[in-house]
Amino acid sequence: MWWEKAVFYEIYLPSFADSNGDGIGDFNGIKERLPYLKQLGIDALWLTPFYPSPKIDNGYDVSDYCDVDRQYGTLQDLEELIQVAKKSGMHVIIDVVFNHTSTQHPWFQSALQSTEDKKRDWYIWRDRPNNWESFFGGSAWEYDEKSQQYYYHSFAKEQADLNWHNPAVKQAIFQILDFWIKKGIDGFRFDVINNLTVSQDFKDNPVDETRRQIHQNDVNQPGVLAILKEINAYIKNCNPELFTVAEISSDDLKCIEQYVGAELFDTAFNFNLGSQEKLNLNYFASQYEAMNTAAEKLPTLFFNSHDMSRSWERLADKNVDVYYLLIVLLTINHGITFLFQGEELGLGDFLAANLTDIRDIQAKNKYFELLPSDGEVRAIAAANLVNRDRSRGMLPFNIKGWIGSAKVNESEKVIMAGYKALIALRHKEGPFLPLEKIQAENDLLSYWSGDIHVILNFSEKPRQIELLEDRPWQTLWSHNGPYLAKNKIYLPEKAGWIGKRN
C-alpha cells in the first residue's frame, strides 16, 4: 500500500502557515507551502482538527463534524487544498475525534433538553457519579441541574463522551466518514480511540499507593475492538486503499498492538518509543526490537507531535549532531515515518512566561491547581511541564500568531539538509525489512535491515567497527566524517554511517 514507504507530515493548523495575516494558520497557507513540503520529500499530510469548535481543547472539541472552522477558510478552500496536494503527489489524511463531542454540538444541545430526548442516550448519563477522573484533572462527571443527572467527560467538561453502546451513534459516525471520503481524503487518524467505550457496571477505578487513579474501567474496555472492526470495515469497503492510524492513550506496546492487525487499524502511534522523555539507547534498541517482532503490521516512527515537547530539547538536548543521528532512526528504519511541523528545522519549545501565554487547557488546570499553594512562579513552571503548547508555537513562516513562536534553531539549514537527504534515501532504499541484530552498547547503536547496515555513534569517543566480509560495502550516507576501509568503518565522535552490501 502507498503508506508503507510514505513520510507523513503532521500539520497543526493554527500554527503552520497564515495566508491572510490574522495570526492563525489556514488552508491557503498550507497550499502555499506545498512546494516547500514537496522539496522536503513529504508523501502525505496529516491535518489536525479543522472543524467548527469553541476551541476549549484547541479544536478537539468538535461542534460540527461536516464543516470547517471559518478561521481556517472555507470548505471549498479545503477541497482545493486536497486537490492541489494530490496533483503534487501528496496524500491527505484528517483527524477524527469520535470519543466525544463539544457540549456545543447540536447532538448534545438536544440531549440537554429532556431525559426523553432522542439524543439523550447518545451520551453517558448517571444519577450519581462514581470516582472516575478526567484525564485533564478533576472528576469526569459534570452535573446538569435541569435533569439532575451527571454526564461523563473523559477530558474537559466541555467535551461530552459519546455513548457507543447506542447503535445510532455508530450509524451517525459512518455518515460522517462517508462525507469526508467523498471529499477525496486518503485516510483518518483516530483520536484517543481506545477511550471509545467504558464499562457498563460503572465500578469505581482503583487507586495506587500514591492515590493516583488507575484507569481500569474507563479505557480499553471489552467491546471496543468489535466496534473498531466495524469502523475499519466500513472504511475499507469504501476504498481498501484508505489509510487508518490509531492514537492509543498508552505507551505500553502490548496495549497498542491490540488495536493493529487484521480487520483493525493499519497502524497505531508507538508512544512506547516516540514519547520518551530522554534519550536512552538501550531502551530505544529494546523497543525497536519489540516493535519489529510484535507488530502484525508496520509500526510508526516519530519523536514529535502536537502534544509533547520537541525532540530538539527533549531527546537531543539541543545538540545538533545528536539530533542529526535521530533523523536516521526516524527515516532509515522499519516502519511508517511521521514528522511534525518544524522538526525539519530543529525548532525548540515554546514556553509560557505567564498565564496569558497558555492556551492548553491541561496546563491551565495544572496552573490553577498549584497557584494557591505554590505561588505564581512554581505554578507556571509546573504548568509548562505538562503544557502541550510547547510544540504548538508558530512556525517561522509567520509574522504574528495566536500563540508565541517556536524557538528558531541557528543550525536549521544543516538540519533541513539532513532531513532531505535521509528522506530521499528512504524513498530509494525502502520500505525497510524488520530489523535484525540491533545492538546498543556504550552509546553506539547498530542495526540491520536486509542488506542495509546502520551504525550511529552517540558517544564523545571515536569508534571502530568490523563489518562482514562476504560482500563489498557501499557507503549510502554518512555524518561527521566516518570512513570505510576494507571491512572496517571508522567513526569519529557523534558520527553516523549507513552502508549497503553489494
The catalytic residues are: 191, 247
Q: Is the peptide bond before 54 cis (omega within 30 degrees of 0)?
A: no
CA angle 346-350-351, nearest 5°? 140
Q: What is the DSSP letter of 45?
A: E
Pairing of strands 336-340, 7-11: parallel
Q: Is residue 400 classed exposed, middle or buried when 0-12, 13-18 and 19+ CB atoms within 10 A define those classes?
A: exposed
Dist CA 291 CA 280 (whole Å): 16
Report CA-CA distances (Å) from 368 to 250, 313, 365: 26, 26, 5
Dist CA 14 CA 467 (whole Å): 48
Q: How many CA atoms lie within 13 A of 283 on its CB side?
A: 12
Dist CA 255 CA 103 (whole Å): 30
Dist CA 92 CA 18 (whole Å): 19
Dist CA 477 CA 492 (whole Å): 15
List, in order, residues 6 or more apart from 272 with CB less than 8 Å away: 251, 252, 253, 256, 287, 290, 291
Q: How many CA atoms lie within 13 A of 71 on its CB side?
A: 19
Q: Are 458 and 425 in contact (CB under 8 A)?
A: no
Longest dimension (CA), the chain: 80
Report CA-CA distances (Å) from 128 to 145, 155, 221: 13, 19, 21
Q: Grid coordinates in use for 404?
A: 508565541
